[in-house]
Structure 1
Amino acid sequence: MAKVKKQPRPKAETPKGFRDYFGAEVAQRKAMLDEISAVYELYGFDALESSAVETVEALGKFLPDVDRPNEGVFAWQEDEADWLALRYDLTAPLARVFAQHRNDLPTPYRRFAMGPVWRNEKPGPGRFRQFYQCDADTVGSGSVAADAEICAMLADVLERVGIPRGDYLVRVNNRKVLNGVLEVMGLADDPRRDDVLRTIDKFDKVGERGVRELLTVGRTDASGAEIDGVGLSESQAAPVLAFLTAKQENVEDTLARLRDAVGDSAIGQDGISELRQIAGLLDAQGYGSDRIEIDPSVVRGLGYYTGPVYEAELTFEIKDEKGRPRQFGSVAGGGRYDDLVKRFTGQAVPATGVSIGVDRLLAALHAKGRMSKDTVGPVIVTVMDRDRMADYQAMVGELRAEGIRAEVYLGNPKNFGNQLKYADKRNAPVAVIAGSDEFDKGVLQIKDLVLGAKIAETATHEEWKEQPAQFEIKRGDLVAEIRKILEA
């Protein structure tokens, strides 16, 4: 009889492009989401939790830089007709929700949403296929006051989560101005238009000279590869360069340069007018150029946005993996997208919103040293006598009733040293110790683990033996003494 082949054990590993999040990371993300939610709610936005799965048809072809609707997403066929996919952002589901429930929702509809999204893209360092987004959108208002409000709210969010003024900038531009530049260039309907747009999007990476070369004759990149140019003349490329480099010290000078770049283009002039209104509305609320500025170099979602666009950039320096200084970069972005709901209704519905990369924000705070990688663990009640388990559970019950996180050690209590090692791994601030002697006397031993760790770093052997971090208390003083240590 042939030997039955054993089924190989599955590999214990996360799929490529995904990762696991543990206690401290989950707790810190939740705390950040709570802070962001508080700001969104302060501005009058309501929470929405939509389905993580949408039809591919509903998602449409709005995934940036992707031509086919089910490329770039995790999709599967439900039956012979319908394809479903995990959502790749929180905006496409919003368009479907508003179109579906528009008769029951207020207009404008102000909503915020938070949750994971999935991208079927090539993963890389710090680039995962599942990540968290935190969005706020206003659907049904064409007023630029809605755009200005999103920018102000974005600045408030950054400060609320621990990014002080001077360490961030919200930069604002308008796609209508760019469309005006293309019109002046005679490229509004030119087949080279998309090549020009892709080149403009590289401005942050290659600078003014690089864009000029790519628009005209081409350039040699850092690796030595030859990149073909779009083939424009120097005079044709001039309006694009004037647009990208129009930023000046004050708003009026920047707008004047933009007026020169768009010439007589009506849509370009309309975009400049909207930027002036946004700047005025923000100034009236006290948001100066140290927090929010007009910057023509901001170009987002080339086939997606229809009006004002904005991006939040962290301006402080961090070190890359090779120890070289670099700016942290963008952590949020958004803009006006007036054509998205129209796909469902056939009628134009104005909308504007922002998406915050929560994982990027957390990484920034860690890189700046403003957030510890650890969170405070629970108070650990150690077990010296298995027969007194009810007494140990009574202790944690008292602590929990007063809002103090606590647990009884539930491993093998035979080796007390292992219990303290467990407390250390849990990052516990305090250990409670009680054996039969302590119970008979009505006392407890309290070990301040944070103080003990500090003493261990600098104390002499004699000082360490004195155990100043461990002391005796009355059983009835448990909650008060633990609270005193935690507050300290």
Structure 2
Amino acid sequence: MAKNKVKRPKARKARGFPDRSGAELIAERLMLERIGKVYESYGFAQLATPAFEYTDALGKFLPDVDRPNAGVFSLQDDDDQWLSLRYDLTAPLARYVAENMDALPRPYRRYAVGTVWRNEKPGPGRFREFTQIDADACFAPAPHADAEIIMMFVDALSAAGVDDKDVEIRLSSRKVMTGLLEIIGLDPQDQGQAGTVLRAMDKYDRLGADGVALLLGEGRKDESGDYTEGAKLETAQIDTVLRFMEGGDMAEALSANAVGAEGTEELTQIISTLTELGYSDRVKLDPSVIRGLDYYTGPVFEAELTFDVENEKGQTVQFGSVGSGGRYDGLIARFKGQEVPSVGCSVGVSRLLTALKSKAALDEALGPVVVLALDTSEMPRYHRMAQALRKEGIAAEVYLGGAGMKAQMRYADKRGAPITVICGEDEIAKNEVTLKDLRAGKKASEAIESRDQWTEERPGQETVAEGRMIDWIKERLQ
């Protein structure tokens, strides 16, 4: 009689939801600590809000079907209300400020660290679940709060490990875009044609003038054969937009438009402040910066990494954006009916870690010192060694896997241990320990030509009195 086959689930993770462990999490924690210290040095205090918000509070993704799923992950509560995992950290901030408006200092300066979720197609370095660290100033009008946020944003990226030469902050203004739309005769509130124009402009750095011209006109077919409907602008309108995108002189036209003139003046003052304080070499005006979220109302900016990486097709491309920000004076008004001038920035930590890893620019994340367990009768001795190291602030563990010395050394290597402590029969008899600096050994191995030479020199290894163990390890770690 045949036995019933046990049906087992397949071990697999959902697309866009990465497993992370060990060195990557250590690197993320260090990055968040460094960025957080920059934010705190500017006087921003940390705030934590829940992962779930009522879907209507998120603003951009109001439910218009049975299940709202345009970009967010949602579920229905037992009281039939829709809840969604937060798409970013700004919409929850808007809800918090509106809920606590009378009790907050003005300006209100907060930063936040947290996981966010986006129901979008995943790609290289782009996940459905990722970490952000934001800073925002509410009740803070333009342009001086904007200049400060940009300076802090630059400092945060530097603290995270981004070299100044590898990043460029691209700056523009939604007010200038509004002025341009009005100049060519479009209603900026019309998300149809005006929205198509802005989306086309946003692709300028990728498609160039010819590709954008097609999207501003009848439409464009890409290499795969997919066709994108255009904005159906007249030739004169297209010429005006392209002149603006190519850096042509639009000052006179924008000066005659109230919103455009206001946006231009704000950008001028921001650049002036950045120049005075030594940041202007890392910031450039770029009209192709549109920003996708609808709530931006003034200056907007993006951090673009300028070094090359290889994409999933083996092509060499620039890595692209790892952070952004801008002004959103109308977001909190959704709750209170009054504008609250606000500006903020956000660093995409998961994406930035991917970028620095691809460039081999991540700090080395060290594992613990591993005390080998060569004699099970001496386990208390080994634990005392690890305990003594921990009291000195040095991560340490005793090997507990029950295997021999070779397997223990392989374990230490996989754990990223900088040093192993070896205390066998010979060392115990002399109250000594043998200490092996695994990093120094790896470096020295590149120059050693034979096994005999390696056995004779034993690079990075030294036997010392047990009382000197902590000092020796401290010196090597420093």
* TM-score normalised according to structure 2 size: 0.92
Q: 1:268 aligns with which of 238, 260, 273?
A: 260
Q: 1:287 aligns with which of 279, 287, 291?
A: 279
Q: Kindly provide the amino acid, as one letter, of the partner of residue 411 in structure 1.
A: G
What does residue 301 of structure 2 align with?
310
Q: 1:382 aligns with which of 348, 367, 372?
A: 372
Structure 1 stretches of at least 4 aligned residues deviating more than 6 Å after TM superposition? none
| Residues 204-257 of structure 1: CA deviation (Å, up to 9, x unaligned) | 22211222222223334223445443222111222222222227xxxxxxxxx2
Structure 2 residue 260 is the aligned partner of structure 1 residue 259:
no
Q: Give the match's secondary structure for 2:123.
A: coil
Q: Give the match's secondary structure for 1:112.
A: strand
- Is the Cα contact below 8 Å between 1:62 and 1:304 reproduced in 2? no
How many Å apart are 1:319 and its aligned residue?
3.2
- Is the Cα contact below 8 Å between 1:239 and 1:262 reproduced in 2? no
Q: Give the match's secondary structure for 1:171.
A: strand
How many Å apart are 1:322 and its aligned residue?
4.5
Between the aligned partners of 2:311 and 2:377, the Cα distance in structure 1 is 55
What does residue 253 of structure 1 align with?
none
* TM-score normalised according to structure 1 size: 0.91
Matches within 5 A, 1:378-457: 378-413=368-403, 415-457=404-446
What does residue 169 of structure 1 align with?
168
**Inter-CA distance 263–109: structure 2 relative to 1 (3 Å threshold):** closer
Between the aligned partners of 1:280 and 1:263, the Cα distance in structure 2 is 19
What does residue 202 of structure 1 align with?
203
Matches within 5 A, 1:6-405: 8-61=7-60, 70-188=69-187, 192-246=193-247, 257-262=249-254, 264-288=256-280, 290-301=281-292, 303-371=294-362, 375-405=365-395
Between the aligned partners of 1:333 and 1:212, the Cα distance in structure 2 is 26
- Is the Cα contact below 8 Å between 2:61 and 2:72 reproduced in 1? no
**Inter-CA distance 69–483: structure 2 relative to 1 (3 Å threshold):** same
Between the aligned partners of 1:406 and 1:109, the Cα distance in structure 2 is 42
What's the % identity of the aligned pairs? Answer: 48
- Is the Cα contact below 8 Å between 1:178 and 1:243 reproduced in 2? no
Q: Kindly provide the amino acid, as one letter, of the partner of residue 316 in structure 2.
A: P
**Inter-CA distance 82–217: structure 2 relative to 1 (3 Å threshold):** closer
Q: Kindly provide the amino acid, as one letter, of the partner of residue 433 in structure 2.
A: L
| Residues 362-419 of structure 1: CA deviation (Å, up to 9, x unaligned) | 12222222226x6222111111221111111111111111112111111114x22211
How many Å apart are 1:299 and its aligned residue?
0.8
Between the aligned partners of 1:163 and 1:475, the Cα distance in structure 2 is 41
Q: Give the match's secondary structure for 1:103.
A: helix
**Inter-CA distance 69–105: structure 2 relative to 1 (3 Å threshold):** farther
**Inter-CA distance 302–118: structure 2 relative to 1 (3 Å threshold):** closer
**Inter-CA distance 243–391: structure 2 relative to 1 (3 Å threshold):** same
Between the aligned partners of 1:302 and 1:57, the Cα distance in structure 2 is 16
Structure 2: gaps (5+ residues): none
What does residue 252 of structure 1 align with?
none
How many Å apart are 1:79 and its aligned residue?
2.2
Between the aligned partners of 1:302 and 1:193, the Cα distance in structure 2 is 14
**Inter-CA distance 485–278: structure 2 relative to 1 (3 Å threshold):** closer
Between the aligned partners of 2:293 and 2:374, the Cα distance in structure 1 is 66
Between the aligned partners of 1:263 and 1:285, the Cα distance in structure 2 is 27
Between the aligned partners of 1:456 and 1:283, the Cα distance in structure 2 is 49
- Is the Cα contact below 8 Å between 1:306 and 1:336 reproduced in 2? yes
Structure 2 residue 477 is the aligned partner of structure 1 residue 478:
no
Q: Give the match's secondary structure for 1:446.
A: strand
Structure 1: gaps (5+ residues): 248-256
Between the aligned partners of 1:160 and 1:278, the Cα distance in structure 2 is 22
Q: Give the match's secondary structure for 1:298.
A: coil
Between the aligned partners of 1:216 and 1:461, the Cα distance in structure 2 is 70
Q: What is the aligned length?
A: 472
- Is the Cα contact below 8 Å between 2:175 and 2:259 reproduced in 1? yes
Q: Give the match's secondary structure for 2:323.
A: strand
- Is the Cα contact below 8 Å between 2:170 and 2:302 reproduced in 1? yes
Between the aligned partners of 2:226 and 2:476, the Cα distance in structure 1 is 62
Between the aligned partners of 1:224 and 1:145, the Cα distance in structure 2 is 46
Over the aligned positions, Cα root-mean-square deviation in angstroms equals 2.3
